[in-house]
Structure 1
Amino acid sequence: MSTFEPGLCSVTFRGLPIGAIVELAEKAGLAAIEWAGDAHVPPDEITIARKAGNLCGQAGLATSYGSYVAPPTDDISAFLRALDSAVALGAANIRIWPGTRGRDSEEYGADERRAAADSIREMGAEAARHGISVSLEYHPQSLTDTTQSACRLIDAISHDNVYLYWQPRPGLPLEEALAEVAEVGPHVSHVHVFAWDADRNRLPLAAAADYWRTVLAAMPPSRWSERRFAMLEFVANDDPAAFLEDAATLREILAG
């Protein structure tokens, strides 16, 4: 079983200030926070990034930066602004979106896919100069919306500093989830964890504990060699109490 530590995506609590999110993560016994670039730590807001990083350091929490840079729609200049915030945050990893957000991978022609791969490769190389890895969101309506497209993209990028995230589509059957991680697992850095049904209703993570235990146990060895985080993303009713329950469930899953 690949070893994951529990974390939190700050986008789970858009309405809470940075300090409150750090306190929640610390109370929940988590190991890391991925800070949202469209909510808590915007690109170019270096003072805010440093504040979040300092608070996390005091609480013993590692950091990742969840940017919404979407190459090739967003170019290297947009990435550099996000990278500046990631550096100020002290983040070891920056997440980006592959392709134009809200666009299915099947709509891309060969030239567009090549442009996306070239752009991401450039971003991976630039981040490497700062000791920061780049990971691609694994999400519907992106160039990683199918396992086949994700594998094609990561092969085209062909850069050892660019990795994949993994998360299930809402309602994804266990058998299909296992097939996906078997394919993309060798490139996976971190995962986003939630319990949604096919209609995107949010459930307690305990309702999907066996699902996640099975998937994480089946995750194959990865070329990723640093700390790995399974990060909670969204909870029922955006409720901090529900989050604390889900965090306890996640810790139990990862412990056994």
Structure 2
Amino acid sequence: MSTTPHTLTADNWPIAICMHGFSPVASDGTRMHDAASERWDGVFRQVARLGFTAIEIADSHIRPSDLTPARRAELKSIADSHGVSLTSVHVQRQSIIEPGRGEQNLAYAHQAIDAAAELGMQVFSTGLHQPFNEAQRKALWFWTVQGPVDPDDAETRALAVRRLRELGEHAASVGLPMALEMYEDTYLGTADSAVRLIEEIGLDNVGLNPDIANLIRLHRPVEDWRELHEKTLPYANYWHVKNYTRDEAGDGSWWTSVPTSLELGIIDYRAMVARAVEVGFRGPFLMEQYGGDSLGICATNRDYLRTLLPEGGVSATDGNRSAIPAASETVSA
């Protein structure tokens, strides 16, 4: 069970940390999902030491729906002992239209929604991106290699809409917003396609995770980051934020990108956060970083982000999408 302040300010706006800074598999081969409570305790201890009070549980590390009820309770108890809330579960690379696995992934997503509600999370987060191919796994940066592509096929897109609407209805029934992460070469891979998908699903609790950095890092021509945000922010209810430097040749012969901090990258988050709040964004933020000291960079990015949020506060209930429950509401199973 969780509650959120009725007024969101720079000081209390929910900002969570990702799990990229933790290895999903220990040196002895034990998956974090199966790890002893001591290892989980170490994760939340580090998170709290960095000043974070919230974390996104990535299913690459821990799959809450696959834990026993006792282990789920243990996960929440350990997090609570360090003052860390479980903001969301992020179901990644489990596309509900993945060839040969779509129905299985759909069933898993339903289970993840129930687990998220049981754990008192604020958001159910997912997308349409599929598992890495072998070339992506071998690359220094996976986004420099071509991955799977959603088919340009009306029937497959309609299937995606139906299944995502089914998940959205389930999420709504347990009091959860559902956020769909933007990602290249999926039906969430361009601003227009992503917005159209949300409109086709047609549920107030289903919105976008406008992770535009997933697109501007690509070594290919991309949409202008300003236009991407302008089109998608009105539909946002959860936001993975990270940044990259980007350079490209004027003749289109080459492109390059490297992860960097929110402040130094090509996306101007000062302008974009102000615009997001203006058009009604009231969702949690998730600090994300690839490479280097992911945890440390997420912490400095969080501190920077708080300087961009409104000091005077905004109402948590006047947003554009159903993103954060009002103080009088709760999220529970």
Q: What letter corresponds to residue 233 of structure 2 in structure 1? A: G
| 1:225-240 correspondence runs (5 A) | 228-240=283-295
* Mapped pair 1:104 → 2:149: yes
Q: Could you tell me which residue of structure 1 aligns to residue 15 of structure 2?
A: 6
**Which runs of structure 2 are paired with 1:32-43 in the superposition (5 Å)?**
32-43=54-65
Tell me, yes or no, if the aligned pair for 1:236 and 1:242 is still in contact at 8 Å.
no
Q: Pick from 239, 255, 270: which aligns with 1:213?
A: 270
Counterpart residue number, 2:216: 170
Q: TM-score, normalised by structure 1?
A: 0.83
Change (3 A) 1:178 1:30: farther
Decide whether the 8 Å contact of 1:67 with 1:96 is kept in 2.
Answer: yes
- 2:307 aligned with 1:252, yes or no? yes
- Output aligned runs, 1:64-213, within 5 Å: 64-68=88-92, 69-73=94-98, 74-75=102-103, 76-98=106-128, 100=130, 102-105=147-150, 107-168=151-212, 169-171=215-217, 176-198=224-246, 199-208=256-265, 211-213=268-270
Deviations 1:186-213 (A, max 9, x none): 2101111112234442223342498111
> Is this contact kept in 2: 1:64–1:91, CA < 8 A?
yes
User: Does structure 2 conserve the Cα–Cα contact (< 8 Å) formed by 1:98 and 1:143?
Assistant: yes
2:48 aligned residue (1, 13, 26): 26
Answer whether contact 2:123 2:176 (CA < 8 A) is retained.
yes
* Equivalent residues of 1:72, 1:99 under 8 A apart: no
Give the helix-richer structure, 1 or 2: 1
| Matched residue SS, 2:238 | strand
Report the residue type matching 2:210 in the other structure. W
- TM superposition shift of 1:255: 6.0
Following superposition, the deviation at residue 99 of structure 1 comes to 6.2
CA distance in 1, matches of 2:129, 2:296: 35
SS of equivalent to 2:234: helix
Residues 238/207 of structure 1: CA separation in 2 closer, same or farther (3 Å cut)? same
CA drift at 1:122: 0.5
The amino acid that maps onto 2:108 is A
Q: CA RMSD in A?
A: 2.9
Q: 1:239 to 1:92 in 2, by over 3 A?
A: closer
Q: Which amino acid aligns with 2:283?
A: R
- CA change 1:108–1:18 in 2 (3 A) is farther
115-124 or 84-93, larger mean C-alpha shift: 84-93
Identity %: 22
Q: Secondary structure, in 3 states, of the residue corresponding to 1:30?
A: coil
**Is contact 1:104-1:145 (8 Å) kept?**
no
Q: Structure 1 unaligned runs (5+)? A: none
Deviation for aligned residue 1:231: 1.1
Q: Which amino acid aligns with 2:243?
A: A
Query: 1 CA distance for matches of 2:208 and 2:186?
Result: 13
Taking structure 1 as reference, are residues 31 and 180 closer, same or farther at Cα in structure 2, changes over 3 Å only? farther
Largest Rg, 1 or 2: 2
Cα deviation for residue 67 of structure 1 reads 1.0
> Residues 185 and 221 of structure 1 are in contact (CA less than 8 Å); yes or no, is this contact kept in structure 2?
yes
Please state whether the residue corresponding to 1:90 is helix, strand or coil: coil
CA offsets, 1:10-40, max 9 Å, x none? 2343358433332333233334211101212
Q: CA deviation at 1:235?
A: 4.7
Note if contact 2:55-2:87 (Cα within 8 Å) is conserved in structure 1: yes
Classify the secondary structure of the residue corresponding to 2:309. helix
* Cα distance between partner residues in 2 of 1:94 and 1:32: 15
What is the alpha-carbon distance in structure 1 between the residues aligned to residue 167 and residue 292 of structure 2? 36
Cα distance in 1, alignment partners of residues 300 and 129 from structure 2: 35
Tell me, yes or no, if the aligned pair for 1:53 and 1:90 is still in contact at 8 Å.
no
Letter in 1 for 2:87: T
Instruction: Please list the CA deviations of residues 45-65 of structure 1 after superposition, one character each: whole Å capped at 9, or x if unmatched.
Output: 144433332333340535211
* Per-residue deviation, 1:151: 1.2
Counterpart Cα distance in 2 of 1:241 and 1:27: 11
Quick check: 2:55–2:84 contact (8 Å CA) kept in 1? no
